[in-house]
Amino acid sequence: MSKKLNTSKQIPGFTFVKKLKGISEYTLKTNGLTVLHKEMSDTRVVTSNITYNVGARDELQGESGIAHMLEHMLFKPTKQDLKRKIDSSAMQFERDTGCNLNATTSTDRTTYYFNYPAVYLSRALQIESERMQDVVLSNKEFTPERNNVLSEFDMLNGDPYFALHTQMMCVAFLSHSYGHETIGFREDIEQYTPEKLNLFYKNYYRPDNATLSIIGDVSVEDALTTVKTHFAQLKNPQVTIPRHSIIEPKQEGVRRTEVIRPTSTNILALGVKHTGFPSQDWFTAAILFSILSEGPDSILHKKLVDTGLATSVDSTIAPTTETNLGTIFITLAPDQHHTSTEEKVFEILQSLTTKEIQKLLRSTVASELTDKLFTEGNSLRLAMNLTEYISANAWGKYIQVESILKAITVADVLKLNKTLFDKSQMTIGYFIGEK
C-alpha cells in the first residue's frame, strides 16, 4: 500500500479527500457527490461509472427486484429528453456514437457506465446527471420494459444453478433482505407499478448517495470541471435515505431445500455464510472457494470430476458488505446420488492437508494478482472492479489487495474451512432432475 497521501490538486467547487496510487477522491461541495478520478494517458478513451448505494437489500417484501427494474428504466427518456423530443439520451448516445454502455444491480449497489472516446466526456456526464433524478417513469415506457425484465428472469430461471440458488437464499435468510436474488421473484415483478418505482427512485437516487468514477485519458482538472458543470446544480431531497437494518436470527441447524425439474441435470449445492466484503475473512473465504472449486487443480475438481463422480464443480461468493451465502455447486455425473456425493464432499473437506492448501494458496494468490495487473491497463475493467469497493465505502482497500492476499496463511484457510463448513450453519440444496 502506498503510505503517501499524494498532494492534492485543488479544484474549485470540490473538496479534496485523498489520493492513493494515482486515484484521487473529491467531494462536490454543493451536494456531496463523491468523485474518483484516475488518468490513463494516450488511450483517447474514458470510462465514467456511477454507483448508487442502493440495491436488492433495500427492497421491501413483495417488491423484490425493484432496484434492478429501476436500473432498466434509467435507459428511458428524461424530462429533458421529452423537451428535446428524443427517445432517451442514454440510448441515443450509444446509437449516435457507438460507445459502450450498460448497468448492473447487486444486493448493495446499482452501477451505470459509459465507455467512450474522450471527446464525449461532457455528453456522457450530462446524461448521467439528468437521469439521476429526471427519468419519466410512465406506463408507456414501463410496460414493455417490464416484459424485458420478465424475459431476463426466464432466461436466468432456465438455468438450474440459478433456480437452486434462488431457493437456497430464501432458506438461508429468514429475515435479512439478502434472501432473494437481485432480479427478484417473477410474481413480484408482475406486480410493480410506475408509482412504486418512482418512490424507490426518489428515495435513493441523489448526489449524496452516489460515487462517480472517471477513469481514462482525461486530466483531473478537465474531468472535475466537467463534473461540476453537469452535477453541481443537483439537489438532495430533504428526506433521509431509508435503510433497513436487519439482524438475521441465529441459525440452529442445517437448512435444506430441493428443486425438481424434468431434466437429466442433478446438482448438489453447499451454501456457507461468509463475512462481508472487504474484510480479511472475506478474502480468505474467496481464496478458500477458489482452492476448493476453481479450475482443474482445485481440490474438489481433482477428487470429484477427475474421478468421474461429478461433471463439474463451480462456486460463487459475492462481494457484499454484510454476511452472505457463498455457494459451491457440484454437478453430479450420471448415476451418482446427492446424498452419497454430499457425504463424500464432507469427507474431503474434513481431510484437507496443509501441504495441498499451501501449494494452491500460492498459485491462487498469484493468479489473483495477475488478474489485477491485467485490470489496471483497461479503464472499463478498472472502473468495474473499483465499484465493489465503492459500494462497501472502502475504495482505498482496492489499493491494499496485494498485501491483503499475501497476508493470508494456510492456517487462516484451514481455520475458516472448519468454521464455514460447520454443517449446522450451512444451507444445502439439491437440484433433482426427473426425466
Partner 1 sequence: MKYTTFIGEGYNGGSVTRKDERTLHCRITVDLHTEHSLQQSAIEHIYTDALLSGAGKYDRAAFIDAINTLGASIGVSIQNSRLTITLRSIEENVSKLLKLFEIMMNDPKFTSTELQRIQTQATNELIEHKENAKAIAHENFENSLYGTTDRRYTNTPEQISAEIMKATSANLKQLHATAKKGIWTVTIGANTTTVQKVRKSIVICKKGQKSVTLLRTHAQKPQIQKTVLQNIPSKQNIEFAIGTSLPLTLHHPDYLPFVFGLSVLGKWGGFTGRLMSTVREKEGLTYGIYAKTESVEGEEQGHYRIMTFFAPDKAVQGLTSTLREIKKIHKNGITQSEYHRFQTILKTQQTLLADSLTRSVDTLHGYLCADFSLEEIDEYKSRLMTVSRKEINHALKTHLHPDKLIISGAGPTDIMKKELLKIR
User: Which stretches of the chain bind partner 1, using CB under 8 A?
Assistant: 43-45, 47, 75, 91, 94-101, 115-117, 143-148, 150-152, 154-155, 157-158, 160, 216, 261-265, 295-297, 302, 305-306, 308, 310-312, 331, 333-334, 359, 362-370, 373-374, 377-381, 433
> Least distance (Å) from partner 1 to the CB of residue 74?
13
Identity of the residue, 249 or 308, whose beta carbon is nearer to partner 1 in the bound complex: 308
Supply the angle between the helices 139-157 and 194-204 in degrees, to the nearest 10.
90
d(CA 74, CA 90): 8
Identity of the residue, 367 or 409, whose beta carbon is nearer to partner 1 in the bound complex: 367
> Least distance (Å) from partner 1 to the CB of residue 391?
23
Identity of the residue, 247 or 373, whose beta carbon is nearer to partner 1 in the bound complex: 373
> Least distance (Å) from partner 1 to the CB of residue 374?
6
Identity of the residue, 152 or 248, whose beta carbon is nearer to partner 1 in the bound complex: 152
Identity of the residue, 320 or 331, whose beta carbon is nearer to partner 1 in the bound complex: 331
> Least distance (Å) from partner 1 to the CB of residue 311?
4
Identity of the residue, 39 or 58, whose beta carbon is nearer to partner 1 in the bound complex: 39
- Label the pairing between strands 110-117 and 255-261: unpaired
> Least distance (Å) from partner 1 to the CB of residue 152?
4
> Least distance (Å) from partner 1 to the CB of residue 14?
26
Identity of the residue, 187 or 252, whose beta carbon is nearer to partner 1 in the bound complex: 187
> Least distance (Å) from partner 1 to the CB of residue 261?
5
